[in-house]
Structure 1
């Protein structure tokens, strides 16, 4: 493949100095052997004109485009193989006009090129906030398209629930603005369908919340040194909250569990550790370089009216026996949200076996889930793990008062809105321990899911936490509730991407058939 004439931004071929650094991303060390993540050309567009030239080139030469905004996609689907192009817009839209607050109408217009940490800091200067995730180096493009799950999910919903318009460049190189009113099918598909497979998203506008409307908000970040019995007690509180259909909307609770990261002898090594040391400009900057084995509690209460009063026992039961940072703080919501952000670039500088499950169970306490999940985590969080490290995060989302649940009919396609809890339970491992890590996760699958599953009777996944098969069409029923929803997304993809320009790999909603029913001829360079 050749570079594209007339493009002002940088271009990298596999033979170009610096290509290996540019193709690196979060998933590289985990999936480079079993998932093609070496694009034939990487383009950093300088502006929208460059993007249009890349689209025109791809269309004329029967190439596909993978869109990358930050490279934090767990299955590496923001990359592609040697026949195709990666369009990296992580630095394209970063002027003062690309992140603005329009106070009169309470709207923030943001670009896809900003990281979550930057976005949160900007909102804080304007004394406004929205719900969002917790990884500081995630960029907004993929984050908003896959939902933006995070700490305020029960009380305020998802980041994507707040989107009012999307600014895109389509398969013909035309600039368009999409709203729920102007094009409900595309709005539906962009927010919860295939991220990056409908065109090039450049900017979006969000309705935000004002600190002044939620005065008296409280937050707690309590850090506990790991103890199995303490974990059992804390997860008992989480499970009881999750099981309570009538739990007030005001409260959010998330519990994280992390193995120690004290690589004092430099034994971990590997590609990620090398990138962190030698190329921090690409890897990212860590705010918390090391930590002991710990349990981190994130709890928040927000008032929705002058008569709302917090139940302080909710916080007190979570902070007993803490290590540090355990005071319940009264702060504006925009300041509290900054405390929920995980400041490291990644959990551990190692390959991983990923799992993120959802459940609609309201009987977790009765079913013995607490004892089961504590046992599963304790198996690899211990110091004697011998090459495996735990990163787990468990969070309530459900109940009839939850905005995550109540936003189900808001025109987006984010799925499983009746879920009560989300559980991420990942195994980061030394390369030679891959088989052991996969066996541990397989036990979690077998015992946690299915007709007799301790956590969920159904395999429910989220796009941002993808794992297992990366052929989305073969596992669509784990990401979407029903066939009509999936077929509506297929029709939207057919309309938005008729030539397969934005189909660089199989982790995308299939386009509705208009001839042979194939998800991807482009993968093999045969056109669409």
Structure 2
């Protein structure tokens, strides 16, 4: 493949000196062999005109385009193979006009580009004393985050990041700019937000409605760190399960519990590109703000008053911080400041290959079914041994109940799936290369025991696009990502309308186009 004439941005062929650095992304250490992640050309456009030229070139030459904003997609779906092009937008839209705060009477908005990380975006909102629900990984970029929902700490109290998007600015398969709203084009708005991320065109900017601190005075937050202990973990997850099972739990509260293995001897184990990238190209890898961890349980909890008459139940916090190793006391802070405390500052959990799993469930009987004892036992299998070459990174969070905005925001014009879910569980195994088979076997046992008609966590296989795993052929496993066939066929029709020539079909992790 040749470079494209007339572009002002950078282009990298596989023969280019810096190709390997720009080809690398989060999934490279794990999926480079099984999911081809070696684009025939990497383009870093400087302008919208550059993007239009790439689209028209791809269309004329029968190439497909993979779109990357941050490269945090765990299965590597933001990359492609030698026959195709990767469009890297991380640095394209970073001028002052690409992140703007606007007040309109009692409402506040931010127009943002896809080229900003969550860490940067959160800091910008904080300067304006506004907030919005979003995820916790600092180097996730908002383009992919918006399209896959934007799960995060405020899921119960405020819903998903994508619930707050009002306008999408895109460049379509003809190289033409469009503005999409729910009112102007409900089918494309629906498909862009939750359908087939990165496969409908090039998203450049979006308008997001944000919440003002001044409307939620009295918010409280707790970040507590417990040293890993089986009994302590069982108690904390017991509180989480009780909250998740309670259909009437107030909207005001959110609770997320993370569990991490020790990392003292992890850095440098591979001696390969991951570590080289971290040392030589921190601008690509990101900055690791906490390089050494003990085995620990991290509790993130908060309370948000929804009206002046709301009062917090302080026992909610007390039962989560008792016996902790380190804590910031329950703090009264504006929500825009609390959201910055929920951000996980490391670029990735461990610099190792991984076997990832993210499950969601609608179960309201986790306590009754014995899920707490089961999941603690599974975690112990890899956390407690000190030399097994496997490290746990788990995150468990409540989302459900009739008062939850995650649930109540369903049918808001977006297609984010499984909005009746009560809990999300990410339980990942990072491993030394020679321990791959053992890590896969551990996760396979989790699959067999947690998911299915007799599953202790969920009676059906529910997956999320941002935490994909298993088959990379989306059409063969569509029922795990979308609730029913009519929904999937609606998305198929939208894909055909948005991408009739397959210009944005760079791999198999795409919704199939209607015939």
Determine the C-alpha separation between the residues in 2 that align with 1:512 and 1:185. Answer: 14
Once the two structures are superposed, the pairs formed by residues 478-489 of structure 1 within 5 Å of their partners are: 478-489=480-491
Q: Distance in 2 between matches of 1:9 and 1:336?
A: 38
**Preserved contact between residue 149 and residue 193 of structure 2 (Cα < 8 Å):** yes
1:93 aligns to 2:57 (yes or no): no
**Who is 1:64 aligned against?**
64
- Cα offset, 1:385, TM superposition: 4.4
Per-residue CA deviations over 1:243-290 (Å, capped at 9, x if unaligned) read: 000000000000000001112884453432232123212111111111
1:360 CA displacement:
0.3
In structure 2, list runs of 5 or more residues that go unmatched.
Answer: none
Distance (whole Å) between structure 2 residues aligned to residue 81 and residue 58 of structure 1: 14
Residue 374 of structure 1: how far off its partner (Å)? 0.2
- Alignment pair present for 1:135 and 2:162: no
Hey, what's the Cα distance between the residues in 2 that align with 1:466 and 1:243?
A: 25
Alignment partners' CA distance in 2, 1:364 and 1:269: 42
State the alpha-carbon separation in 1 of the partners of residues 76 and 267 from structure 2. 30
Using the alignment, how far apart are the partners of 1:196 and 1:129 within structure 2? 25
Secondary structure of the 2:407 match is helix
Offset of residue 175 of structure 1: 0.3
1:108 maps to 2:110: yes
Q: Which deviates further from its counterpart, 374-383 or 330-339?
A: 374-383
The alpha-carbon deviation at position 103 of structure 1 amounts to 1.5
**Alignment partner of 1:51: what SS?**
helix
Paired residues of 2:266 and 2:351 also in contact (CA < 8 A)? no
Identify the residue that residue 403 of structure 2 maps to in structure 1. 401
1: CA distance between counterparts of 2:114 and 2:55? 18
- Pick the aligned partner of 2:462 from 447, 460, 463: 460
The structure 2 residue matched to 1:437, chosen from 433, 436, 439, is: 439
Q: Is the 1:319–1:326 contact (alpha carbons within 8 Å) kept by the matching residues of 2? A: no
Of 227, 237, 240, the residue aligned with 1:238 is 240
Q: Of 211, 214, 219, which residue of structure 2 is paired with 1:217? A: 219
Instruction: Indicate the larger mover: 274-283 or 323-332.
Output: 274-283
What is the match of residue 335 of structure 2?
A: 333
C-alpha RMSD of the superposition: 0.9
- C-alpha offsets along residues 329-351 of structure 1, whole Å, 9 cap, x if unaligned? 00000000000000001000000
Pairing of 1:248-397 with structure 2 (within 5 A): 248-263=250-265, 266-397=268-399
Kept in 2: contact 1:415–1:479 (CA 8 A): yes
Provide the rounded CA distance (Å) in 2 between the counterparts of 1:166 and 1:281: 28
Q: For this pair of structures, how many residues does the alignment match?
A: 513
1 CA distance for matches of 2:397 and 2:382?
20
Q: Does 1:502 align with 2:504?
A: yes
Question: What is the SS of the residue equivalent to 2:392?
Answer: strand
Contact 1:145 1:191 in 2 (8 A): yes
Query: C-alpha separation between the residues in 1 aligned to 2:425 and 2:270?
Result: 26
Instruction: Find the partner of 1:197 among 181, 199, 220.
Output: 199
| Alignment-derived partner of residue 52 in structure 1 | 52
Deviation at 1:118, TM superposition (A): 0.1
Instruction: Say which SS state the counterpart of residue 394 (structure 2) adopts.
Output: strand
Contact 2:267-2:351 within 8 A present in 1 as well: no
- Asked whether the 8 Å contact 2:266–2:350 carries over to 1, the reply is no
Give me the whole-angstrom Cα distance separating, in 2, the residues matched to 1:444 and 1:266.
29
**Residue 16 of structure 2 aligns with which residue?**
16
Partners in 2 of 1:317 and 1:373 — Cα distance?
20
Q: Show the counterpart of 2:174.
A: 172
The answer on whether the counterparts of 1:167 and 1:202 sit within 8 Å (CA) in structure 2 is yes
Equivalent residues of 1:223, 1:326 under 8 A apart = no
- SS of the residue aligned with 1:327? strand
Q: CA deviation at 1:439?
A: 0.1
The SS at the match of 1:384 is coil
Give the alignment's TM-score, normalised by structure 1.
0.96
1:384 Cα offset (Å): 2.2
* TM-superposed deviation, 1:433: 0.5
Unaligned runs of 5+ in 1: 514-528
2:493 and 2:513 in contact (8 A); partners too: yes
